Structure 1
Amino acid sequence: MEYKDEQLNEEKVFKDPVHRYVHVKDRVIWDLIASPEFQRLRRIKQLGTTNYTFHGAEHSRFNHSLGVYEIVRRILNNFQDRPNWNKEERLLCLCAALLHDLGHGPFSHSFEKVFKLDHEDFTQRIILGDTRVNKVLERAEKGLAQKVADVIAKTYPNKLVVSLISSQIDADRMDYLQRDAYFTGVSYGHFDMERILRVMRPTEDQVVVKSTGMHAVEDYIMSRYQMYWQVYFHPVTRSAEVILSKILHRAKYLYERDDFTFKLQPTHFISFFKGNVDLEEYLKLDEMIVHYYFQLWQEEDDEILRDLCERFMNRRLFKYVEFNPNLQMREWMELHRLFQEADIDPEYYLVVDSSSDLPYDFYRPGEEEERLPIHLLMPNNELKELSRNSDIVEAISGKKRTDHKLYFPTDLLDALEDEHRKQRIYEILYGQGEIVDAD
């Protein structure tokens, strides 16, 4: 039997709190899970700094990736013998589902913003590079690594395959909503996934949902909406992200200065600071390594780096108020000046952070990013876009919500000796609304 068709002597299962069990029978999938590149995902948290807000959110990208694989496995079992489904693409779909987040780095999106990286780019580099993952894929089928990379890049010719991993109702979202809800302890992310999987149908270019399953899809859309605003964009989590980002910016700034020397050379960060990260160095950096440096940097000679690391490690977060600098530029400029005069560097201690989300949208001609809409399969086999049939989804379609907050350390402000300056700073801040404790 060829390697790509080889089955394990006995099916392996991973006990999973969300899906009960993750089933593995394919030798290729088992070998991919065992690869160092995939095992590294155990050391990357799924939700970055969210555990500063919801202490149970300690789950990893490894957990999530297995979950996405399991959902796709179940979908494909339901697709067997259905029109428009090519059985020859089964292994490709399973591999793409398992490996879709392979390139995530420590603290994922915060890290990417600071160093201008793209986890999807690194996912493709790992799959196509000199890695164990690449060797397993190429042993299974010559060119399979490129196909998997193309699915993740959304350039694979069969858009049906791409839509399983990346669309507005895909295995990725269905896993992370439920998994993140479970580990954070909230109720928002739960929906009837089993019902959705039962009514999914393959078409030529995407997965569609039978109209009888519309209410389960509505529930899924609203779950996503609630999770973004109650969990993913939680202001306390964002406060921790702000401090994390400022630590990385400060460390990079200090490394580039000729008059500063770290007590311990930040070896694992150097290529990131220089902007020429190679794959081997990228794979060596995980959240355990980052925490190690943050722990050491609490004793560095630079006061700002030392303070920021101590705040992050001990959860002494910034406070926040609602603040939109686009509408409050005069107040922003005055605060900036007052912080400078108080010798509190506004670059690191006065930070506006904005979050926005578009919970569901349909294709609009001329837009930069085409958002593949969710289609319902009607009894007469006609396809109808979801929001045309659902009042609930229509109410939020195309409505982008944006939230702005201003973060700052009240402990440093309270310690100011100039009472007039302190009073003026608080007048501006309190004028925007109540100052909220990041607890």
Structure 2
Amino acid sequence: MSKSNKLKIFNDPIYGFIRIPSTLIFDLIAHPYFQRLRRISQMGLSYLVYPGAHHTRFHHALGCMHLMQKSIQVLRFKGVALSEEEEQGLLCAILLHDIGHGPFSHAMEHSIVENISHEAISLRFMQELNTMFNGSLTVAIAIFNGEHDRKFLNQLVSSQLDMDRLDYLKRDSFYTGVAEGNTNAERLITMLNVVDGNLVVEEKGIYSVEKFLMARRFMYWQVYLHKTGVVAEQLLIRILKRARYLIKRKQSLVASEALLYFLNHRIDIKNFDDATLRLFSRLDDVDVFGAMKLWQYADDFILSELCKMILDRKLLHIKIKNEPYKPEKLKDKFLKTQERFKLSDEETSYLVFDGVIANKAYDRDEQNINILKKNGKIVDVAELSDHLNLNALSKTVTKYYVCYPKNTV
């Protein structure tokens, strides 16, 4: 295939046409590791709340790359020197930043493997691809790891105002129909600049930053931490936990080879080798959905019921409060459920449980969003803001949930 045939475009519902800028980017997108992202949902089981939320990590990665192209154009226009090598590194780093996500994205991040973040697995994929592409991703990996000597390059990929967050807020808002989460990503990008090697936002963009942070806070409570999504995610985690439990006790379960491997083995950072990476690359939402469709007919009551709950959207009841659920009330739900279904303590724990969710819209301890004032002074956005109290958004809001079967009175 000639080079010209690789400079294609995608038609995106958010931004319109997204251009593939180079042969390397085309070849990365065409690689099976990246094509797998077409089968990894961006928002896990959120479609059970918002029926339109079926977009994938593939959509998101392309959107991030598009915004990065815009950012590079803006910064060069403002006199920030960026070499072709750095441009290619930025585009590859943001394109591949989520390639390490497993099935249902964050919902099962620590269920398939133990204590390995999707960022760590993304790095492993990038290193593997770097070998395949003869070192073409060396700069991208340095940027991704924050090891490049120009700090703002990493900030464009991973910070509190990066291309990742700009795209997922806008994209998730679009596909859920939650308009309050929509942000003007293009406006924010035009306000970006670099001072002393760090990314800043020009003062006239402060209200766009405020709206972005408020939109992020709203999306977390209204969408990402919606109570139905929370209980569905917990059920999914418990399905895999139960499957592991049964397999450990020599009970036969049918699933794909890749899924059975991760259910049969405890995989952590120490034994996540190249062979494991290749098996992980064969794992996506389809494996888990296929398993649930089979396991709903399993002899084990707990596994069968949990699968039916998700497939039929007949979920556990969930209550979310500002204070922890009283232990005596939780115990009462536990005992009533145990008696109702004739279960052991261990079995009942899959159906009655509590937990914590937390949200912080802006973390002042992590790569601040800095505003460049007209007099050249750099100020944290939370200190400069007079329109909204961003200091309040810097505090962690914690809520407590309890889940139990419906009709458990």
Does 2:398 correspond to 1:402? Answer: yes
Q: Which residue of 1 aligns with 2:199?
A: 207
Distance 1:135 1:268 in 2: 23
Q: Which residue of 1 aligns with 2:119?
A: 120
Describe the SS at the equivalent of 1:113.
Answer: coil
Matches within 5 A, 1:18-417: 18-80=14-76, 82-87=78-83, 88-114=85-111, 115-116=113-114, 117-129=116-128, 131=129, 134-136=131-133, 138=134, 142=135, 144-258=136-250, 260-262=251-253, 264=254, 267-273=257-263, 274-276=265-267, 278-322=276-320, 326=324, 328-342=326-340, 343-344=342-343, 345-363=347-365, 371-391=366-386, 392-411=388-407, 413=408
Distance 2:248 2:321 in 1: 32
Distance 1:337 1:156 in 2: 56
Q: Which TM-score applies when normalising by structure 2? A: 0.90
Distance 2:184 2:174 in 1: 14
Q: State the identity as a percent.
A: 31
Q: Which residue of 1 aligns with 2:10?
A: 14
Deviation at residue 228 of structure 1 after TM alignment: 0.6
Distance 1:151 1:255 in 2: 41
Distance 1:265 1:12 in 2: 37
Per-residue deviation, residues 64-116 of structure 1 (Å, max 9, x unmatched): 00000000001001111645533241110010011110111101222123242
Q: What letter is aligned with 1:171?
A: M
Q: What letter is aligned with 2:127?
A: L
Q: Which residue of 2 aligns with 1:368?
A: none
Q: What letter is aligned with 1:308?
A: L
Task: State the number of aligned residues.
Answer: 392
Distance 2:153 2:176 in 1: 31
Deviation at residue 11 of structure 1 after TM alignment: 4.4
Cα distance change of structure 1 residues 384 and 346 upon mapping to structure 2, 3 Å threshold: same
Distance 2:183 2:258 in 1: 41
Describe the SS at the equivalent of 1:330.
Answer: helix
CA-atom RMSD in angstroms: 2.1
Q: Which residue of 2 aligns with 1:436?
A: none
Deviation at residue 326 of structure 1 after TM alignment: 4.6
Cα distance change of structure 1 residues 9 and 244 upon mapping to structure 2, 3 Å threshold: closer
Distance 1:10 1:288 in 2: 29
Larger Rg belongs to:
1
Select between 12-21 and 54-63 the one with higher mean Cα deviation. 12-21
Per-residue deviation, residues 117-142 of structure 1 (Å, max 9, x unmatched): 3211111111112x4x6423x3xxx3
Per-residue deviation, residues 254-295 of structure 1 (Å, max 9, x unmatched): 01113x223x36532233221235111101111112111111
**Uncovered stretches (5+) of structure 1, i.e. residues with no partner:** 1-5, 364-370, 414-425, 427-439
Q: What letter is aligned with 2:359?
A: D
Q: Which residue of 2 aligns with 1:422?
A: none
